[in-house]
Amino acid sequence: MMHEMDPAGAPGLRPMRWWDVEVVVGIERDVFADTAWTAGQFWSELAQANRTYVVDEDGEGVAGYAGLMAVPPTADIQTIAVASRARGRGRGRALLEHLMSVAGEAGCSEILLEVRPDNARAMAMYEEAGFEVIARRASYYGPGADGLIMRRRGK
Ligand SMILES: CC(C)(COP(=O)(O)OP(=O)(O)OC[C@H]1O[C@@H](n2cnc3c(N)ncnc32)[C@H](O)[C@@H]1OP(=O)(O)O)[C@@H](O)C(=O)NCCC(=O)NCCS
């Protein structure tokens, strides 16, 4: 099947469309359980200005996805996830690097994200990409579940 416009120049990465939402929400529930976004939340995100959502496909379909809000000078990583079957093969890194380049092209000089302090895998990926923890938000993910704010400066 032909892919439509490839925003990153990398095979498999393309813009998320409304018809991807059902599959994306299925992965979302597996990955984030009780904090998973609903289809309505994804539709709302896709409808908003300043958002960039991409999916990454493998031979089985959507294997990962990510979203960015870019309002210069700050960009926010809204979400990033790779289906468990497709992890450890560079997909998370490719999604993150794509969002970082979109943020730079949009004129953003800093990127923020929130992560759970017990999510070592994601934190290692962000640290390697130049993100640093700048704050801890109490109960960000629910009662007693703090969130770490990470920031990367520069384009
Ligand atoms: C975090 C996540 C997106 C990484 O996706 P991935 O495709 O498995 O990651 P990659 O293969 O691109 O690896 C990127 C980096 O992640 C880290 N990483 C990947 N697998 C890891 C593992 N098993 N243990 C520890 N760190 C790991 C490493 O830093 C790795 O870099 P390296 O290959 O140079 O060592 C994925 O694990 C995921 O979807 N997790 C659940 C959702 C989530 O936590 N999202 C982030 C919320 S803020």
pLDDT tens digit sequence for 58-90: 989 999 999 999 999 999 999 999 999 999 999
66 lines ligand 1 (CB under 6 A): no
What is the arithmetic mean of pLDDT over 104-130?
Answer: 97
CA of 92 to the centre of ligand 1 (A): 6
Mean pLDDT over 30-50 rounds to: 95
pLDDT at 146: 92
Q: Please name the residue whose Cα sits nearest to atom 26 of ligand 1.
A: 121
Mutate to test the pocket of ligand 1, among 24, 87, 119 (most ligand atoms within 8 A of CB): 87
With a 6 Å cutoff on the Cβ, whether 111 touches ligand 1 is no
* CB 88 near ligand 1, within 6 Å: yes
Torsion angle of alpha carbons 41, 58, 68, 108, nearest 10°? -170
Is 10 a residue whose pLDDT tops 70? no
For the cut 50, the answer to whether the pLDDT of residue 121 exceeds it is yes
pTM of the model: 0.92
The CA-to-CA distance between both ends of the chain, in Å, stands at: 34
Going by C-alpha positions, the residue among 132, 136, 130, 134 that lies closest to residue 148 is: 136
Is the pLDDT at 18 greater than 90? The verdict is yes
CA–centroid distance, residue 96 to ligand 1 (Å): 10
Confidence of residue 36 (pLDDT cuts 50, 70, 90): very high
**CA 140 to CA 113: how far, in whole Å?**
12
Question: What proportion of the chain, given as a percentage, has pLDDT over 90?
Answer: 85
Q: How confident is the model at residue 154 (pLDDT cuts 50, 70, 90)?
A: confident
Instruction: Catalogue all structural domains in the chain, each as residue range(s) with its CATH number.
Output: 13-153 (3.40.630.30)
Q: Please state, rounded to an integer, the average pLDDT across all residues of the chain.
A: 92
pLDDT at 8 (0 to 100):
43
Looking from the CA of residue 127, the nearest atom of ligand 1 is 29
Question: What gap in Å lies between CA 150 and CA 71, rounded to an integer?
Answer: 17
